[in-house]
Amino acid sequence: MSALRHWPVTTRDRLPMALWDAQSLVAAMGGTASGSFQVSGVEIDSRDIRSGDLFFALSGESTDGHKFLDKAFANGAAAAVVDRPIDFPHILVADTNRALEALGQAAAVRCSAVRIGVTGSVGKTGVKEAIFAALDRTCRGQAHRSVRSYNNHVGVPLSLSRMPARSEFGVFEMGMNHAGEIAHLTGQVRPNIALITTIAPAHIENLGSLEAIVDAKAEVFAGIEQGGTAVIPADTPYFERLRDHAIRAGAKVISFGTAAHADVRLLDAIPSANGGSLVTADLGTTRMCYSVAEPGEHWIANSLAVMAAVRAAGGDLGAAGLALAEMGGLKGRGARHQIKAPGGKALLIDESYNANPASMRATLRALGQTPATRRVAVLGSMKELGDFAPKFHEQLAEPLAGADVDFAILVGEEMRALALHLGKGGGHALGKGLSFAHCDGPAEAIAALEEFGITAGDAILVKGSNSIGLGRLVTRFTNRES
């Protein structure tokens, strides 16, 4: 019995328990420490500080973190990184923003964790969360990942700096708006595995073409560690372009999808009772059957990417299957709420955080597969499409019709192109017009949905770019939950 209770000691168990101490912080960032201290976390927002955290007083275009030092320490900060002397425990540096980046790089160097970088036009956050859940199940809690959508020039080094020295795996999301941004981020993460979820016309306003988007996403391979693995979608028309980028970076290539040449290939997928899918996949040396809790065909593809990454990381594929079976929707990214409605309950699907043409089509397709008395789509404008915006918005008429939507609420100026198209009777079977309302913002959208009247059995999809503010609508109607 005592042998069963024995907890095996590994090399990582001999590493420090504290996340950072003053000496290691100075070694990583430079600067001068006010004294000896230890910290258990790293934070950049004084409102999120917990006892024992290190607070970075970052300077930005519109604010200065030094203004919030009193609040940070009142909330329990153990120390701060500052560019001017203060009366609290601190590390004094020349530039707090550069110091955060240096700390993130030092965290990657000191830790022997397998690092996985995730990027792509659609599905980054969900895939990142699924890979983390799969790996965390079997490594005694020593997996780490970026939280929320911390995927930019601040979020990536912050996420790295939070990675404990004992971590076995680290999963990091990397996003971009312009060429060159991912190259900078991947140089910090230095991934052993670099995964691209899919290619779609997100940020095409800044990049100009899908080919430019492919090249910008492929920058993730530039920072890959020697002997690393690139995981890429087999079904994209740009497969060969992605593969060539990866090979030039010296990476081993693993592809996923439905194509015959895919290394992780979908064999079959059928709907499951909970709204998800039962998937059978060929992984080359083995076949797997597993459940995916998240609804929609896009999550079938996501699951193949997860399996490819977990296998490349040396993780447990069985644990990955369990993680996919238990995944719940993330806030703003597929969370499903049962809300009060006359006669019972209605379903509200929260996709309010992000939107582009590919993700709009995928979620509308999933809405069409959702059993419902009536289907309502609240769609906010898709941003960063530039001159392509009218065309891409107008083209949503087809997936709206395919989803058999009964009422659409279109929110934002860019949605005017779709409203004009629908007003002409476009995009619906047999010339039947789709009932819709066009609104300037979330307040009008709330009023339009209340006027329409939600009833039991309805399914309401809320999706749009985060800047449209449809999260307000979600909050308004989910407050009716019981």
- The domain spans of the chain are 16-94, 111-326, 335-478
- Given the candidates 3.40.1190.10, 3.30.1330.60, 3.90.1150.10, 3.40.50.300, the CATH classification of the domain at 111-326 is 3.40.1190.10
Could you tell me which of 336, 243, 262 has the C-alpha nearest to residue 301? 262
* Pairwise CA distance, residues 380 & 475, whole Å: 16
For residue 18, what pLDDT band results from cuts at 50, 70 and 90?
confident
Mean pLDDT to the nearest integer, 280-304: 94
pLDDT digits (tens, 9 = 90+) for 414-469: 999 999 999 887 555 444 568 999 999 999 999 999 999 999 999 999 999 999 99
Instruction: Determine whether domain 335-478 maps to CATH 3.40.1050.10.
Output: no
Contact 243, 251 (CB under 8 A): no
Quick check: 304 pLDDT over 60? Answer: yes
- Using CA of residue 405, residue 273, residue 331, residue 218, what is the dihedral sign? negative
What is the pLDDT at residue 14? 57
Compute the mean pLDDT over every residue in the chain, rounded to the nearest whole number: 91
pLDDT value for 1: 46
Q: Give 16-94's CATH code, choosing from 3.40.50.1370, 3.40.1390.10, 3.50.50.60, 3.10.100.10.
A: 3.40.1390.10
> Taking Cα atoms as reference points, which of 406, 343, 418 lies closest to residue 379?
418
CA dihedral 417, 418, 419, 420 (to 10 degrees): 50
Q: What is the pLDDT of residue 426?
A: 58
Lowest mean pLDDT among 90-94, 113-117, 238-242, 272-276: 272-276
- On the question of a common fold for 111-326 and 335-478, the answer reads no
For the cut 70, the answer to whether the pLDDT of residue 4 exceeds it is: no
Residue 244 confidence (pLDDT): 97
Contact criterion met (CB below 8 Å) for 279 and 266: yes
Predicted TM-score (pTM) of the model is 0.84
3-state class (DSSP) for residue 10: coil
Is the confidence at residue 384, as pLDDT, over 90?
no
Residue 449 CA neighbour count, 13 Å, CB half: 30
Picking from 181, 16, 9, 229, the residue whose alpha carbon sits closest to that of residue 107 is 16
Indicate the SS3 state at residue 7: coil
Side chain identity at residue 201, one-letter code: P
CA distance linking residue 388 with residue 384, whole number of Å: 9
- Per-residue model confidence as pLDDT tens digits over 223-278: 999 999 999 999 999 999 999 999 999 999 999 999 999 999 999 999 887 778 99
Please check the confidence at residue 374 and state whether its pLDDT lies above 50.
yes
Q: What does the block give as tokens for 105?
A: 């790089």
Mean pLDDT lowest for which of 64-78, 250-264, 351-365? 351-365
Residue with the larger pLDDT of the pair 332 and 121: 121
In the predicted structure, residue 2 carries a pLDDT above the cut 80: no
Return the pLDDT at 208: 79
Place of tokens 């896009």: 298
SS3 state at 151:
coil
* pLDDT for 43 beyond 60: yes
**∠ Cα 245 246 251 (to 5°):** 155
Q: Which of 207-221, 232-246, 316-330, 412-426: highest mean pLDDT? A: 232-246
pLDDT at position 430, please? 42
15 pLDDT band (50/70/90 cuts)?
low
Residue 205 near residue 388 (C-beta atoms within 8 A): yes
- For residue range 124-149, what is the model confidence (pLDDT) as tens digits? 999 999 999 999 999 888 999 998 77
Q: Give the whole-number percent of the chain exceeding pLDDT 70.
A: 94
